[in-house]
C-alpha cells in the first residue's frame, strides 16, 4: 500500500512525502526507511502517551521527483 501511495503521489505531481512516526514504533520506522524515507527532524512531545506523558515524533521525508 505504501508503494502505491508513493507512486500515486508522484504521478499526481507531488515532489515529496513527509510523515511522522513514534520512535517506539520500530516496525513502522523500518518499513519507512526501507521505502526510502529519511529522518529530517523531531517534533518534541508530539503524541499523547497512555500515562498522560508525551512522546516525540520522528519526522521522515522522501523525495519523489524523478520517480
Q: In order of start, what are the domains of the chain with their CATH numbers?
A: 2-63 (3.40.630.30)
Region of 12 (left: φ > 0; alpha: ψ -120 to 50; beta: rest) is: alpha
CA-based nearest residue to 58, from 9, 23, 13: 23
Q: What is the pTM of this model?
A: 0.86
- Binned at pLDDT 50, 70 and 90, residue 15 comes out as very high
Catalytic residues: 20, 32
Nearest to 35 by CA among 13, 19, 24: 19
pLDDT at 49: 85
Query: Is 14 a residue whose pLDDT tops 60?
Result: yes
Q: How confident is the model at residue 67, as a pLDDT?
A: 55
Amino acid at each position: 500500500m505504501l508503494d502505491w501511495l508513493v507512486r500515486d503521489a508522484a504521478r499526481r505531481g507531488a515532489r515529496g512525502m513527509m510523515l511522522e512516526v513514534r520512535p517506539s514504533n520500530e516496525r513502522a520506522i523500518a518499513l519507512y526507511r526501507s521505502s526510502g524515507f529519511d529522518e529530517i527532524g523531531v517534533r518534541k512531545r508530539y503524541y499523547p502517551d497512555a500515562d498522560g506523558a508525551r512522546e516525540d515524533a520522528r519526522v521522515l521525508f522522501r523525495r519523489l521527483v524523478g520517480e
